[in-house]
Amino acid sequence: MSQLSPRMVALGTARSEIREAFAFAQARAAEVGPENVDDFSIGNPSVPAPPQVATLIRALTREIGPVRLHGYTPAQGDPQARRALADDLNARFGTDYDPDCLYLTVGAAAALCCALSAMGCPGDEFITFAPYFPEYKVFAESAGGTLITVPANIEDFQPDMEALRAAITPRTKAVLINTPNNPTGVVYSEATLRALGEVLTEGSRAYGHPIYLISDEPYREIVYTGAPLPWVPDYYPDTLVCYSYSKSLSLPGQRIGYVLVPRTVTDFDLVYAAVCGAGRALGYVCAPALFQLVVAQCGGLTSDLSVYRTNRDLLLDSLRSMGYTCAQADGAFYLFPRTPEPDARAFCERARKYDLVLVPGDSFGCPGHVRVSYCVPTEQIRRALPKFRALAAEYGLGK
């Protein structure tokens, strides 16, 4: 047998539980009809991209011509596109970013890989809070580090600062956060971000090097609080932001996002150079050219996100009234209720008897919970409610 990387073979062979659940739902839909299967496994936006995206593609094709439009851009992205994105951020957050603070990438996944690889040295630790997006472990290890997880605060899923303090060591290179959060739907409060900035400032001082904060924000625009999301770099100067248009513009397949390195970051020039170097080393140069130009002209635009709010209200209220315990989820398109038995995998197996497809919290480093991904037609939620109710009754919930 040829000599292959055992790690890569393992990563390519072991399917994630999310993918496995999705595949199960697809197989059941082929067997019993899609109208009988309620799949809440995956975070694929259920609303189309705004019509302006198609209009922009037509206009750009006409105006620029296919050769330039589909040609290579500089490795870090088209300068005019980066200018437009920096201007948009500045208008929204009162910042003064310039094009050379941005590195365009194929989605948030590549942005995270670039940010982590830019700073990862052998033996480094990256800290995140459970529950967390499972790929963080893969990305952190690819960057040469280890992912350290701080246990979940299951009351409201706001990160526990004392637990973070205890987890920081001389080897801590960065802390990775995600708000609004996948899988909980929780939006980190301003108090949380302020406290986080304080703990990281203390830790950086204590160990004599910056502990970076990496803020993963693909759900930034999907918030139901009515108030704009706090801008994370305002709370800690050593913050890098990883963003994606996958969810806000419903463009997950187009693979477009960025890393933002604000000039407040310690050793800015070196950090930005390292992000560019990581992009080069990973082969993530020149993000999809057409979509660089499209998103550059989409400042302030999102898909019609209103259905997610309708779904959140309907599902959260209904689950709670059935007796499920679920933290307030004011963003993204996920709920993370507690399972009525400690074994979330067993609960998901029971749910499958109703063709109700959920993902166990174990996948996200938080057993005893289940992720319900509600980026689905509202009709699917209505149809699934009796199934959730029947499951609740099996456990005697709500009595």
> Considering the rule CB under 6 A, would residue 77 count as an interface residue with ligand PLP?
no
Out of 128, 246, 303, 311, which residue is the one contacting ligand PLP (CB under 6 A)?
A: 246
Of 19-27, 102-110, 119-127, 194-202, the window that binds ligand PLP (rule: CB under 6 A) is 102-110
Nearest residue to the partner ligand PLP, using Cβ: 107
Closer of 109 and 167 to ligand PLP (Cβ): 109
> Considering the rule CB under 6 A, would residue 244 count as an interface residue with ligand PLP?
yes
d(CA 302, CA 332): 13
Q: Are 213 and 196 in contact (CB under 8 A)?
A: yes
**Residues of this chain, 189-228, that bind ligand PLP according to CB under 6 A:** 216, 218
> Considering the rule CB under 6 A, would residue 188 count as an interface residue with ligand PLP?
no
> Considering the rule CB under 6 A, would residue 128 count as an interface residue with ligand PLP?
no
Of 105-113, 281-289, 318-326, 377-385, the window that binds ligand PLP (rule: CB under 6 A) is 105-113
Out of 145, 252, 340, 361, which residue is the one contacting ligand PLP (CB under 6 A)?
A: 252
> Considering the rule CB under 6 A, would residue 303 count as an interface residue with ligand PLP?
no
Q: Are 40 and 374 in contact (CB under 8 A)?
A: yes
Closer of 203 and 279 to ligand PLP (Cβ): 279
Bond from prior residue into 131 cis (ω within 30 degrees of 0): yes
- Closest by CA position to 156, among listed 330, 292, 280: 330
- Tell me the helix, strand and coil percentages in the chain, rounded to 5: 45, 15, 40
Closer of 327 and 392 to ligand PLP (Cβ): 327
Q: What burial letters (b/e) apply to 198-227, b meaning 16+ CB within 10 Å?
A: ebbeebbeeeeebbbbbbbbbbbbbbbeee
Q: Are 241 and 86 in contact (CB under 8 A)?
A: no
**Which residues, including other chains, have CB under 8 Å from residue 19's CB and lie 6 or more apart?**
none
Closer of 185 and 197 to ligand PLP (Cβ): 185
245 CA to centre of own chain: 11
Of 101-109, 144-152, 340-348, 355-363, the window that binds ligand PLP (rule: CB under 6 A) is 101-109
Q: What burial letters (b/e) apply to 276-299, b meaning 16+ CB within 10 Å?
A: bebbeeeebbbbbbbbbbbbbbbe
Of 17-25, 107-115, 352-360, 366-374, the window that binds ligand PLP (rule: CB under 6 A) is 107-115
CB of 353 to ligand PLP, least distance (A): 28
> Considering the rule CB under 6 A, would residue 130 count as an interface residue with ligand PLP?
no
Closer of 112 and 265 to ligand PLP (Cβ): 112
- Closest by CA position to 113, among listed 168, 170, 176: 176
CB of 136 to ligand PLP, least distance (A): 8
Out of 45, 107, 185, 360, which residue is the one contacting ligand PLP (CB under 6 A)?
A: 107
Q: Count of alpha carbons within 13 Å of 392, Cβ hemisphere only?
A: 19
**Residues of this chain, 17-56, that bind ligand PLP according to CB under 6 A:** 43
d(CA 220, CA 111): 15
Using CB under 6 A as the criterion, which residues of the chain lie in contact with ligand PLP when the complex forms? Answer: 43, 107-109, 133, 178, 182, 216, 218, 244, 246, 252, 257
